[in-house]
Amino acid sequence: MNTRKCEWCAEHLGARHSHRARFCSTRCRVAAHRAAKNDATPNELTTRDRWVRRDAKKVPLTVAGMAASSTDSRTWSTHKEAVSSTAGVGLGFVLSDVDDVVCLDLDHCLNPLTGRVAPWAAAILRDAGATYVEVSPSGDGLHIWGRADVRQGRKIRRPDGTAVEIYGTGRYIAMTGRRHGNAPSVLADVSDVVCQLTAEP
């Protein structure tokens, strides 16, 4: 079964695409190249040597295309090396306990056609404040980046049936470079929103 997906819109690449194709259309290729040219990824991330590549199934890879691990720093690279590599289909950033960089993963909260954010996710974005946010590889989720003391990842199922995953170490997050809206290229302190989410019954 073909699991390759467009690096921009996440649509499946069919038989009409070459085995080396990274995008489903010229439109997606141009959009991705424009986004890369105007990459808003915060310096707090790009200056750390914790970058990997990833395959279509989100399995982490080294820049040479071998298996990478979120707990083995020997398999990580610089941002420049990862961007220059053609292994896999995209980038990933490794979260480590050497600092307080965290990611809040909000799935199925964004309409990829209209850009509308579900009310529950909009409330979390508001509470997180001015911090970097990316559209996830699926195109319908958001990754909120920031700083907080998160030593153990958690999946929080909220009373309304939605779920938020919070990660701070021993995990890698698939990166797209697709900044959400006017999110700034900085990592803000998101401790309050993390505490609020983890305190929910």
Q: What is the pLDDT of residues 147-179, one digit of tens each?
A: 999 988 899 998 888 899 999 999 999 999 999
Q: How confident is the model at residue 22 (pLDDT cuts 50, 70, 90)?
A: confident
CA terminus-to-terminus distance, the chain = 41
The pLDDT of residue 24 = 87
Whether the Cβ atoms of residue 140 and residue 68 lie closer than 8 Å to each other: no
- Residue 175, CB half-sphere, CA atoms under 13 Å: how many? 25
Q: What is the pLDDT of residues 75-118, one digit of tens each?
A: 999 999 999 999 999 999 999 999 999 999 999 999 999 999 99
* Higher per-residue confidence, 106 vs 35: 106
* Every domain of the chain and the residues it spans: 1-38, 40-199
Is pLDDT above 90 for 32? Answer: no
Distance CA 164, CA 143 (A): 10
What residues act catalytically? 105, 107, 143, 165
Q: How many other CB atoms are found less than 10 A from the CB of residue 87?
A: 17
Q: In sequence order, what E strands does the chain have?
A: 51-54, 60-61, 90-95, 101-106, 133-135, 142-147, 154-157, 163-167, 171-175, 188-189
Q: How confident is the model at residue 31 (pLDDT cuts 50, 70, 90)?
A: confident
Bridge partner list, 91: 53, 175
